[in-house]
Chain A
Amino acid sequence: MRAQFVLSEIGVGLRRNLTMTFAVIVSVALSLALFGGALLMRDQVSVMKDYWYDKVNVSIFLCNKNDAATAPKCVKGAVTGEQKKQIETDLKKMDIVEKVHYETADEAYKHYKEKYGDSPIASSITPDQMPESFRVKLKDPEKYKVVATAFAGRDGVESVQDQRDILQNLFDLMTGMNVAALCVMALMLVIALMLIVNTVRVSAFSRRRETGIMRLVGASSFYIQMPFIMEAAFAGLIGGAVACVMLLVGRYFLIDNGLALADKMQLVNFIGWDAVLAKLPLVIAIGLLMPAVAAFLALRKYLRV
Chain B
Amino acid sequence: MVHPVIRFDNVSKTYPKQNRPALRDVSLEIEKGEFVFLVGSSGSGKSTFLRLLLREERTSHGMVHVLGKDLARLSNWKVPQMRRQLGTVFQDFRLLPNKTVAENVAFAQEVIGKSRGEIRKSVPQVLDLVGLGGKEDRMPGELSGGEQQRVAIARAFVNRPLLLIADEPTGNLDPQTSVGIMKLLDRINRTGTTVVMATHDQNIVDQMRKRVIELEKGRLVRDQARGVYGYQH
Please measure, in the bound complex, the distance between the C-alpha atom of A212 and the C-alpha atom of B94, giving whole angstroms.
Answer: 9
Q: B71 at interface (Cβ–Cβ under 8 A)?
A: no
Interface size on B, residues (CB 8 A): 23
**In the complex the two chains form, is B96's CB within 8 Å of A209's CB?**
yes
**In the complex the two chains form, is B80's CB within 8 Å of A221's CB?**
yes
**In the complex the two chains form, is B77's CB within 8 Å of A213's CB?**
no
Contacts of B84 in A (CB 8 A): 217-218
**In the complex the two chains form, is A218's CB within 8 Å of B83's CB?**
yes
**Chain A interface size range:** 10 to 19
CB distance from B159 to the nearest CB of A (A): 7
Q: B110 at interface (Cβ–Cβ under 8 A)?
A: yes
**In the complex the two chains form, is A216's CB within 8 Å of B54's CB?**
yes
Contacts of A209 in B (CB 8 A): 94, 96
**In the complex the two chains form, is B80's CB within 8 Å of A213's CB?**
no
Please measure, in the bound complex, the distance between the C-alpha atom of A98 and the C-alpha atom of B82, giving whole angstroms.
Answer: 77
Contacts of B94 in A (CB 8 A): 209, 212-213, 216
Per-position contact with B for A210-223: 1 when CB-CB < 8 Å, else 0? 10111111111101
A217 CB contact (under 8 Å) in B76, B77, B83, B116: B83
Please measure, in the bound complex, the distance between the C-alpha atom of A214 and the C-alpha atom of B84, giving whole angstroms.
Answer: 10
**In the complex the two chains form, is B96's CB within 8 Å of A217's CB?**
no
**In the complex the two chains form, is A210's CB within 8 Å of B83's CB?**
no
Contacts of B2 in A (CB 8 A): none
Q: B108 at interface (Cβ–Cβ under 8 A)?
A: yes
Contacts of A214 in B (CB 8 A): 111
**In the complex the two chains form, is B113's CB within 8 Å of A217's CB?**
no
Per-position contact with A for B69-106: 1 when CB-CB < 8 Å, else 0? 00000001100111111101000001010000000000
Which of A2, A216, A217, A223 has the most C-beta atoms of chain B within 10 angstroms of its own C-beta?
A217
Contacts of B86 in A (CB 8 A): 218
B110 CB contact (under 8 Å) in A5, A215, A220: A5
Per-position contact with A for B41-82: 1 when CB-CB < 8 Å, else 0? 000000000000010000000000000000000001100111
Q: B24 at interface (Cβ–Cβ under 8 A)?
A: no
Q: B143 at interface (Cβ–Cβ under 8 A)?
A: no
Q: B221 at interface (Cβ–Cβ under 8 A)?
A: no
CB distance from A4 to the nearest CB of B (A): 10
**In the complex the two chains form, is A218's CB within 8 Å of B54's CB?**
no
Nearest A residue to B78 via CB reads: A220
**In the complex the two chains form, is A217's CB within 8 Å of B81's CB?**
no
Q: A173 at interface (Cβ–Cβ under 8 A)?
A: no
B112 CB contact (under 8 Å) in A210, A212, A218, A221: A218
**In the complex the two chains form, is B54's CB within 8 Å of A217's CB?**
no
Please measure, in the bound complex, the distance between the C-alpha atom of A209 and the C-alpha atom of B112, giving whole angstroms.
Answer: 17
Q: A121 at interface (Cβ–Cβ under 8 A)?
A: no
Q: A1 at interface (Cβ–Cβ under 8 A)?
A: yes
Give me the interface of A with B, judged by CB distance under 8 Å. Answer: 1-2, 5, 209-210, 212-221, 223-224
Assuming A2-B113, A217-B156, A223-B113, what are 4 further A-B pairs, CB within 8 angstroms? Answer: A2-B116, A212-B94, A218-B159, A221-B76
Give me the interface of B with A, judged by CB distance under 8 Å. Answer: 54, 76-77, 80-86, 88, 94, 96, 107-108, 110-113, 116, 155-156, 159
Q: What are 21 A-B interface contacts by the 8 Å CB criterion? A: A2-B113, A2-B116, A5-B110, A210-B96, A213-B107, A213-B155, A215-B80, A216-B54, A216-B88, A217-B83, A217-B112, A217-B156, A217-B159, A218-B80, A218-B84, A218-B86, A220-B77, A221-B76, A221-B77, A223-B111, A223-B112
